[in-house]
């Protein structure tokens, strides 16, 4: 009897971003049947992919993220009793795929954390408003007693390393601003999108970061929330995490003929499960040994010079580390814990080299002086070097990601790397359009259950 072999193709395995208008209409209808009243609006915030700059945002390094067309939608209506009632249409959230329990908070904490953080604006308790213009704080502070009914749907794979949690936080932040703040009242419906200046968005990003770090307890660094609120269509954000200043670099030249594709390995990762924090703590212990202690307000970024840092500085820093650890196998971090010196050295090397790769990419993407194929080849090479470092130095990769990277490169991709926090999540591939199907077929041979997401740099959080 003939054997039929069903092979999934790129098209069949695509995870679509969906049609925002259709999604919004469906969500509004579901809102009515869930809460027995109409939603007053729908807000969207995107997930992200990061070209380079993993595990360095919390060291003040440069990151190069872009907003995805995929994101989280929130339909909402206000309440005056201070209560947040939340429901999701997302089976992955609903089934508890985001773990809950004493050491792993439920997805609802991300939402409550954002309201808590916005309510703290202007109280002097947040540390956010030290330099912020008081008018911005007034604009974005919810009125007393503000609460909301919320219905949530996400098209970013939950736990896929593409910032589903930041998309959730940022979409809810916009909903709260739209429904319960002076800026929202003065700018009804779609008007809010253009009324939100970059300064408003930067302050909102800080509020969402604070929700994730202080309320949820994930020691993340702010990359995800920044790009979700401040990304732009056809742009890669060049984000300097020392002060969260951004440049928006045009990708039109690079992406003429080439595409970014995210491969979701379907191995979920969680930033609250301890491994992420452990890697960060080891890097901070290495930094402290070199005199850049977070406890004293320093960041590892200071270990490299301000302008055009050269590789030499990395070598010098590593030599300095070796000299200081010549007679010991453990070092003490700024948190008072002891860490394995060899592991800390690897984290240090990853962080410094990743920072250099970001600086190089920033220059390449700013200049646009290269021939197209040459530029894609150079950028791809940097991406792949980033993966090797994630695998061997940061040690946050995992076998499925390594195999997908190798397969994509063998099938002709210009570059490929694991993105996000690691220990699960997605691989980002840069590939010529003509080779996309070959790359997808090679990846699907490794695991027929993979999902692909088109990564076209998209607009930031907005009203839909």
User: Which residues contact ligand GLA by CB under 6 A?
Assistant: 54-55, 57-58, 163, 220-224, 271, 420-421
Taking the least distance from each CB to ligand GLA, the nearer of 223 and 408 is 223
Asked if 106 and 86 touch (Cβ cutoff 8 Å), the reply is no
For the bound state, the minimum distance from the C-beta of residue 218 to ligand GLA, rounded and expressed in Å, comes to 7
DSSP 323: H
Taking the least distance from each CB to ligand GLA, the nearer of 279 and 298 is 279
Asked if 429 and 441 touch (Cβ cutoff 8 Å), the reply is no
For the bound state, the minimum distance from the C-beta of residue 57 to ligand GLA, rounded and expressed in Å, comes to 5
Q: 41-62 burial by CB neighbour count: b if 16+ within 10 A, else e? A: bbbbbbbbbbbbbbbbbbbbbb
Taking the least distance from each CB to ligand GLA, the nearer of 271 and 464 is 271
Catalytic residue among 224, 373, 406, 447: 224
For the bound state, the minimum distance from the C-beta of residue 284 to ligand GLA, rounded and expressed in Å, comes to 13
Taking the least distance from each CB to ligand GLA, the nearer of 73 and 110 is 110
Asked if 190 and 58 touch (Cβ cutoff 8 Å), the reply is no
DSSP 8: -
Gap between the Cα atoms of 392 and 347, Å rounded: 9
For the bound state, the minimum distance from the C-beta of residue 155 to ligand GLA, rounded and expressed in Å, comes to 18
SS3 of residue 73 by DSSP: strand
Taking the least distance from each CB to ligand GLA, the nearer of 71 and 221 is 221
Query: Cα–Cα distances in Å, from 21 out to 8, 18, 44, 172, 190?
Result: 29, 9, 11, 18, 13
Gap between the Cα atoms of 165 and 159, Å rounded: 8
For the bound state, the minimum distance from the C-beta of residue 227 to ligand GLA, rounded and expressed in Å, comes to 10
Taking the least distance from each CB to ligand GLA, the nearer of 69 and 421 is 421
Taking the least distance from each CB to ligand GLA, the nearer of 220 and 251 is 220
Nearest CA to 87 out of 152, 183, 4 is that of 152
Q: Phi and psi dihedrals of 149, rounded to 5?
A: -95, 135
For the bound state, the minimum distance from the C-beta of residue 56 to ligand GLA, rounded and expressed in Å, comes to 7
Residue 22's contacts (CB-CB under 8 Å, 6 or more residues apart) are none
Nearest CA to 73 out of 88, 91, 85, 95 is that of 88
Taking the least distance from each CB to ligand GLA, the nearer of 31 and 107 is 107
Q: Phi and psi dihedrals of 101, rounded to 5?
A: 140, 180
The first and second tokens of residue 116, run together, are 């808590």
For the bound state, the minimum distance from the C-beta of residue 382 to ligand GLA, rounded and expressed in Å, comes to 16
Residue carrying the six token digits 């049609």: 19
**Is 224 one of the annotated active-site residues of the chain?**
yes
For the bound state, the minimum distance from the C-beta of residue 54 to ligand GLA, rounded and expressed in Å, comes to 4
Residue carrying the six token digits 């896929």: 160
Phi-psi region at 162: left, alpha or beta (left = phi > 0; alpha = psi -120 to 50): alpha
Phi-psi region at 160: left, alpha or beta (left = phi > 0; alpha = psi -120 to 50): alpha
Point out the residues that are catalytic: 224
């Amino acid at each position: 009897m003939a054997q039929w072999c069903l092979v999934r193709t790129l098209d069949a395995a695509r995870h679509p971003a969906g049609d925002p208008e259709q999604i919004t209409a469906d969500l509004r209808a579901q809102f009515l049947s869930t809460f027995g009243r109409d939603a007053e609006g729908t807000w969207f915030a995107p997930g992200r992919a990061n070209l380079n700059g993993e595990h360095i945002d919390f060291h003040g390094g440069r990151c190069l993220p872009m907003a995805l067309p995929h994101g989280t939608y929130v339909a909402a209506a206000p309440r005056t009793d201070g209560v947040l009632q939340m429901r999701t249409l997302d089976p992955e959230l609903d089934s508890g795929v985001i773990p809950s329990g004493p050491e792993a908070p439920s997805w609802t904490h991300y939402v409550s954390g954002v309201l808590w953080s916005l309510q703290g604006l202007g109280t002097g308790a947040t540390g956010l408003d030290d330099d912020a213009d008081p008018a911005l704080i007034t604009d974005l502070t919810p009125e007393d007693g503000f609460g909301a009914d919320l219905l949530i749907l996400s098209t970013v794979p939950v736990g896929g390393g593409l910032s589903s949690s930041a998309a959730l936080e940022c979409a809810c932040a916009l909903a709260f601003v739209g429904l319960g703040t002076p800026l929202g009242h003065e700018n009804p419906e779609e008007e809010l999108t253009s009324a939100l200046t970059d300064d408003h968005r930067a302050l909102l990003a800080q509020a969402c970061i604070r929700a994730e770090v202080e309320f949820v307890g994930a020691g993340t660094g702010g990359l995800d929330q920044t790009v979700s609120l401040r990304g732009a269509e056809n742009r890669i954000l060049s984000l300097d995490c020392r002060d969260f200043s951004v440049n928006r670099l045009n990708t039109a030249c690079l992406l003429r003929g080439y595409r970014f594709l995210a491969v979701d390995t379907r191995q979920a990762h969680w930033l609250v499960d301890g491994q992420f924090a452990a890697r960060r703590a080891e890097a901070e212990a290495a930094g402290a040994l070199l005199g850049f202690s977070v406890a004293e307000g320093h960041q590892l970024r200071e270990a490299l010079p301000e302008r055009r840092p050269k590789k030499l500085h990395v070598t010098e820093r590593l030599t300095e580390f070796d000299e200081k650890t010549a007679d010991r196998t453990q070092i003490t971090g700024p948190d008072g814990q002891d860490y394995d010196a060899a592991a800390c050295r690897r984290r240090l090397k990853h962080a410094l080299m990743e920072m250099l790769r970001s600086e190089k990419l920033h220059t390449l993407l700013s200049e646009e002086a290269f021939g197209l194929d040459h530029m894609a080849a150079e950028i791809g090479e940097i991406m792949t070097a980033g993966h090797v470092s994630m695998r061997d130095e940061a040690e946050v990769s995992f076998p499925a990601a390594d195999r997908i990277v190798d397969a994509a490169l063998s099938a002709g991709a210009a570059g490929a790397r694991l993105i996000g926090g690691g220990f699960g999540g997605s691989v980002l591939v840069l590939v010529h359009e003509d080779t996309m199907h070959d790359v997808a077929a090679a990846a699907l041979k490794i695991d027929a259950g993979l999902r692909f997401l088109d990564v076209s740099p998209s607009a930031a959080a907005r009203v839909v």
